[in-house]
A and B are shown apart, each in its own frame.
Chain A
Amino acid sequence: MTTVDVHHISASLAPPSPKRGRGRPQDAAGWLTYGILTVTTLLFVAPFYYMIVAASRPMSEMNTFPPPLVPGGDLFSNIGTAIHQQNIGLALWNSLVVSTVVTVSTVLFCTLAGFAFGKLRFRGRNLLFAITLGTMMIPPSLSVVPLYSVMAELGLAGTLSSVILPSLCAAFGVFFMRQYLIQALPDELLEAARVDGATTLRTFWSIVLPIARPGAAVLGMLTFMTAWNDFFWPIITLNSSNPTVQVALNNLGSGYVPDTAVIMAGTLIGTLPVLVVFVLLGRQIVGGIMAGAVKG
């Protein structure tokens, strides 16, 4: 067995289509269902639209009633003001650096650990995996006080490293990659590699990683999104001279800028990168979230 049916694997990550034998017998949706879903979708999307409208008009126009419903012409001047006032350019760059480093390391480390937990046998495996799952229950915000004092001791407070280090690997990713590899990686392939005398590391590099790619891509997107949107710890450790996007948004919303149009313009640029990625790859992200949800 030398080749792997990649199509089969990537298909299992696509949003689950109605599989035979699973799920309620699928009736076609009636007009009421479509109606409710349309209204809900509009409610979900409306705030984004409102953000664009408010970012493209002077603040005074948003305070009239009825409020304007189409974007105005001030978008770029408002964005310019926001960038000028809150260092948004630096914030975007910092967020890009943090999110990229966190994503690469999370995907690599979680694939390693997920492979070990899913496909290798070793003493203490079940206990260690249970501990891994248990750590998902601990909200990271409870550890900020010592984390802050340690980072200050190390001279890292205020640097991007202090944001990156605690996020280098996440229990959710280990769990996610384990689930993925259990179903995507055939045992015979590992058997064959072992018979060939490949070391475990070699097997990981040459066999596991290529097969893990579709799952790793989904984990990567989710991780990037989470890292980009991380709020609590960055606003504690970073300051406004070296912010990530969320820290800059926090400053924008903290009264330094009283102009709501400028706030919305800043919010728009801070949100846009992730939203673009999301709209382009939304299908895969949806599939990944649903796949990670059930197969316990």
Chain B
Amino acid sequence: MTMQVDRPVAGERGTPPAAGTPSRPSWRSRLYAFEGRSAPYAFIAPFFLVFFAFGLFPLVYTAWISLHSYRLGGRMRWIGFDNYVWLFSNPSFYNSLWKTITIGILSTVPQLLLALGLAHLLNYRLRGRTFLRVAMLMPYATSVAAATLVFALIFGRDGGIVNGLLGVVGIEPVDWRNGNWTAQIAISVIVIWHWTGYNALIYLAGMQSISKDLYEAAAIDGANRWEQFLHVTIPGLRPTIMFTIIVSTIGASQLFGEPLLFGGGQPNGGSVNQYQTVGLFMYQQGWQYSQLGRAATVAWVMFILIIGLVLLNSWLARRRRPATEGTLS
């Protein structure tokens, strides 16, 4: 589809009133000017409509619902801050918060470090570069549900391949699901498998946009490969690293599908809630116990916590180096 743009058509609208035409702009040219002014707003309107209807409004409404007792299929009844009192005096909530944090650390830290190392290796001149990149991104294309179902089998107590391999080196079978830390580790492995390749590619893209001159200058100064990585690559990747940390942190705070399906679809996160994340806790309140008001309270508290985390992150980033480039890149 091409459009002829190099041949102005005589008398078309849009041409500014030239000498000889009436000084009052015609209705057509006014209409044209109006179209030009309003079109940008019309173009962004669909996005903002969807955002207001299904993003902002529900978010704000969550705060309102959190002040009510609201059961599935029932009416809302105003109870003030009772839900918050209930939440902050509930050991199960603190347990889920704690599990979210420990699984978050167990999954995010190794994931990003591995991704950084892989990106570094992928940055060499390689044969089969595209193949490696596509293979690393395959877990990213897999759904949380599919990944978790496979890993639940891999981490099975009796026939699981992990226990089989441990048996080869003489370690007794581990009951991954019922242990406290073992279940958290298994869930973290799923998350790591899922996201490492994706983050490696993000880092690789960042590495390839670092100026070559910096490496040459460092080499002239006598920096070896490792020192170059430490003093050129890492600082150059700073905005990218910040971005991945923020995204992974938010992702970790929302962890839901993995612990749900690892526990066979039960929202209690194991027999003693050993891997019940906040996401599961909210789901349990809202859709197992039909307490939507309480679920909304959990969601709203999570929202405040996430905002705090993001602000803390960017504050730390700014404090370390005053002039960082945009982190959302």
With both beta carbons as reference points, the residue of chain B lying nearest to A225 in the complex is identified as B141
B264 contacts A200, C-beta separation under 8 Å: no
Q: How far is the CA of A166 from the CA of B51 in the complex (A)?
A: 8
Q: Provided the pairs A47-B193, A196-B8, A254-B264 are in contact, do residues A23 and B212 lie with their beta carbons within 8 angstroms?
A: yes
Are A274 and B141 in contact, CB atoms less than 8 angstroms apart? yes
Q: Tell me whether B5 and A67 are in contact (CB under 8 A).
A: no
Chain B residue nearest to A63 (CB atoms) is B159
Determine how close the nearest CB of chain B comes to the CB of A286; give it in whole angstroms: 5
In whole angstroms, how far apart are the Cα atoms of A136 and B257 in the complex?
Answer: 20
Question: Which of the 9-residue segments B38-46, B98-106, B174-182 touches chain A?
Answer: B38-46
Q: A143-B299, A146-B65 are in contact. Are A18 and B121 (CB under 8 A)?
A: no
| Contact A236 B47, CB 8 Å, known A143-B54, A146-B296 | no
Chain A proximity of B51: nearest CB distance (Å): 6
B79 within 8 A of A: no
Please, which residues of chain A bring their CB within 8 A of the CB of B211?
A: 21-22
CB pair B121–A22 under 8 Å, yes or no, is: no
Query: Could you say which interface size class chain A belongs to?
Result: 35 or more
Q: How large is the interface on B (under 10, 10 to 19, 20 to 34, 35 or more residues)?
A: 35 or more
Let me know if B5 and A196 touch, CB within 8 A. Answer: yes
Partner among B137, B149, B310, B326 whose Cβ is within 8 Å of the Cβ of A282:
B137
- Assess whether A120 is in contact with B39, with CB atoms less than 8 Å apart: yes
Question: When the two chains form their complex, are residues B5 and A166 in contact, meaning their CB atoms are under 8 A apart?
Answer: no
Chain B residues lying within 8 Å of A103, measured Cβ to Cβ, are none
What separation, in Å, do the CA atoms of A195 and B204 have in the docked complex?
42
In the bound complex, CA of A143 to CA of B279 (Å): 12
Beta-carbon contact of B47 and A253 below 8 Å: no
Q: Once the chains are docked, how many angstroms separate the CA of A151 from the CA of B137?
A: 35
Which B residues are in CB contact (< 8 Å) with A200?
35-36, 39-40, 43
- Which chain A residues border B265 with CB–CB below 8 Å? 250-251, 253-255
Q: Which of A40, A125, A142, A285 has the most CB of B within 10 A?
A: A142
* Chain B interface SS verdict (over half): helix
Complex Cα–Cα for A236 and B9 (A) = 56
Q: Fill in one digit per residue for B1-23: 1 if any A CB lies within 8 Å of its CB, else 0.
A: 11111111100111100000000
Any A CB within 8 A of the CB of B185? no
State whether the Cβ of B183 lies closer than 8 Å to any Cβ in chain A: no
Closest residue of B by beta carbon distance from A14: B130
Option from B46, B47, B302 in Cβ contact (under 8 Å) with A171: B47
Q: A296 contacts which chain B residues (CB < 8 A)?
A: 239, 325-326, 328-329
The residue in chain B whose Cβ has the minimal distance to the Cβ of A290 is B205
A11 within 8 A of B: no
Known contacts A44-B136, A63-B159, A189-B5: A19-B208 contact under CB 8 Å:
yes
- Asked if B57 is at the interface (CB within 8 A of a chain A CB), the reply is yes
11 cross-chain CB contacts under 8 A:
A20-B212, A23-B207, A24-B212, A33-B121, A44-B197, A63-B159, A112-B44, A254-B266, A270-B146, A293-B206, A294-B329
- What are the 7 tightest A-B residue pairs by CB atom distance, in nearest-first order? A296-B329, A254-B265, A197-B14, A63-B159, A282-B134, A143-B58, A200-B39
